[in-house]
Amino acid sequence: RLDALARTVSAGDFVYIHFAGHGSRQRARDPRSEPDGLDEIFLPADTKPAENGTYPNALVDDDLGTALDAIRAKGAFVFIVFDSCHSSTATRASGAEPEGTHYRWLPEPFASGDVPDASESLAREATLAAEESDAGAGGMVAFYAAQTIEKTPELPLPRGDEQAKTYGLFSHTMLDVLAKHPGITYRELAQGILHRYAAGNFTKPTPLFEGELDRLVFGDTGRSSNLTWPIEVDGGKAQIRAGALQGLERRAILALLPDPLADETQALGFLRVRTGDPLTAEATPARYAGLNPPVLAELPASAVVRVVEKPLSFQLRVELSTLPGSEQDEAADYARREVERIAADEQLPANLALVAPGEQADLQLIVATTNELYPGESGDEPRLWFLPPGGELPADARDKPHSIGLADGMTPEQLSQLRENFVAVFRATSLAQLTELSELDRGKVRFGLEQQDANAGTPRQIERSAVPVLARGDQLIFSIDNQSTKAVDVDMLLIGPNYSIKHMLGLRFQRGDNIKGALGDIADAGSGLWRLVLVMREAGRNSVHSDLSFLNQIGTQTRAAAATGARDFGQLLKDIGGGAATRGAASLTGGNTLKGSLDIFNLEARPGG
């Protein structure tokens, strides 16, 4: 079919190819063509069993590269998405992944040692890179759900929704961002995907984005931040042909407007969304902003709705389970009772909910011995392990996740440590949720980040749409320039792999102020995924800058009543610090609330160097 496509396209055509399924690797037909001696392959639905170390009808990366070159040679633009993976060497399953989670990967059809030795590489195959081509060739953008040594999951989404269905995490996230932000560029789409991963505490896999990222997605020029939808009145309810994918999530507030060009000051009333379907919504009249619930039967035929308040849930969902066939049930029951006791403590500065095994969670706890998780390692006493939502473990035992011993019950000091760990994870994961709020014009507050290699050389700019690898000795250099017409408070926070938070900078920038500085050697502080969080808030009139240093915390370590209603950005940050609200709402209508924005840079630190 790709060959047929290459014959029919012409200059100016747009070609969208989306691969969502299983991937793997097999021995390269020409070992000299691959740095590791392996071909990356995509397996169609009618894949046959492997024979002699290869899948007979697999789509090989080299063949795909040739087909793409032929399509682009005709002058067509190609947008290609790979929601699949090819290996599982960097992480491995713990054996206690949430129910319904699967990985789009099949075993490699060869025995260890059957391929030439080669160093692992995180770089994508050059055959699929959107590199320079002959004059007249069409452009290209490529999105990859996972890097070469990672797996990509499919799981019930949206998480925590009773009506969730199984989707590929990457595909669902990409379409979710697109539906809520039409008319964006590929770079902005990539940034949105990484932000959503951070908000969901998905530390792996690491998506990769290549090509002409500053072009508009699908060539769409319909950028709009004020989307509206018509309604159909059914009794006392309003039916809307848009749903959670477009931002009409359960508990969202919608303004009823007389026509699509009206603003919120002309609202006829407000509705509250009652359902969580991805493509449709049902809403009922609500009292809001001083207006009584509207009478739907009296609305004009031209009436439309617009989202004016988004629901936010500052809650840490925790799952506690054991490995299949484990004999640690007694220790797990004890740990579960202690977690429930901590969650019920009204003085806990975090909102903690223990979910049933198999439900989607933000943090996964597993009760197991060290040698159960890492065969060959010493340790046969039960421990409580802190894992990310996917339940994957670092393959290298030297990078074991944090754990607490359970052999003789937890001491008061260990229980205090467990409590502090929950607070640390709650704060770190809740921060990322605020990426949904981008009301401040970030284009006028310029933030730059560069990577200076340990062996010197020219610093390289880091894009939000990339996840750079930092080696020990590498330096991060930042710059901030307030080109807006208002004073802006800027804070930088560094979230570590163990959920530590370090307040790196807190300054008020008047109009025209700028600064340049260094953040130091992050990789020297520990390997894993780090997140640099940039928080920008409009400065209130006659106010004093109040930085976010109160969010400082050490992170997980081993050592001796719900409020609702719209709040401004600063108050939401205080909620995270104190765990005051299980649910909140972010007003999108302006008014007297102070606007804010939060950006995240993902940074992968590697040992050695």
The residue among 271, 292, 309 that closes a domain is: 309
Residue 290 domain flag:
yes
Task: Looking at the structure, tell me whether residues 205 and 116 fall in a common domain.
Answer: yes
Q: Are residues 107 and 195 in the same domain?
A: yes
Q: With 0-12 CB in 10 A as exposed, 13-18 as middle and 19+ as buried, what is 503?
A: middle
Sheet hosting strand 208-211, strand order edge to edge: 14-20, 77-83, 140-144, 208-211
Note whether 110 and 209 are same-domain residues. yes
Output 284-287 pairs: Cβ under 8 A, ≥24 positions apart: 284/236, 284/237, 284/238, 285/236, 286/253
| Residue 419 within a domain | no
Query: Has residue 171 been placed in a domain?
Result: yes
pLDDT, residue 398, reads 77
The DSSP secondary-structure symbol of 394 reads E
Q: How many domains does the chain have?
A: 4
What CATH number is given to the structural domain containing 464?
Answer: 3.90.280
**Token pair of 44, please?**
């169609």
- Would you say residue 423 lies in a domain? no
What's the full length of the chain, in residues? 609
C-alpha dist (Å) from residue 322 to 95, 366, 399: 9, 5, 21
Residue 424 in any domain: the answer is no
CATH number at 34 reads 3.40.50
Q: Is the domain of 469 the same as that of 555?
A: yes
500 and 541 share a domain?
yes
If asked whether residues 100 and 168 sit together in one domain, one would say yes
Task: Give the bridge partners for 285, in sequence order.
Answer: 271
Whether residue 505 sits in one domain with residue 592? yes
SS3 338: helix
If asked whether residues 270 and 372 sit together in one domain, one would say: no
Q: Do 194 and 47 sit in the same domain of this protein?
A: yes
SS3 for 82-128 is EECCCCCCCEEECCCCCCCCEECECCCCCCCCCCCCCCCCCCCCHHH
Residue 471 lies in a domain: yes
Q: Quick check: is 503 in a domain?
A: yes
Could you tell me if 250 and 266 are in contact, meaning their C-beta atoms sit under 8 angstroms apart? no
Successive 10-residue mean pLDDT values, the chain, 609 residues: 87 89 72 64 74 75 84 92 60 47 49 38 37 68 80 73 78 87 85 81 82 86 70 91 82 91 90 85 93 93 89 81 88 95 89 82 89 88 84 76 90 90 83 56 77 84 86 89 86 84 86 87 81 81 69 60 42 56 45 59 77
Q: How confident is the model at residue 293, as a pLDDT?
A: 94
**Per-residue tokens: 83:** 């929601």
Residue 512, in any domain of the structure: yes
168, 199, 219 - which closes a domain: 219
- Which of 253, 278, 309 is the C-terminal boundary of a domain? 309
Q: Which structural domain, as residue segments, surrounds residue 355? A: 316-410
556/481 same-domain check: yes
Same domain, yes or no: 190 and 141: yes
- Are 334 and 480 members of one domain? no
**Identity at 423, one-letter amino acid code:** V
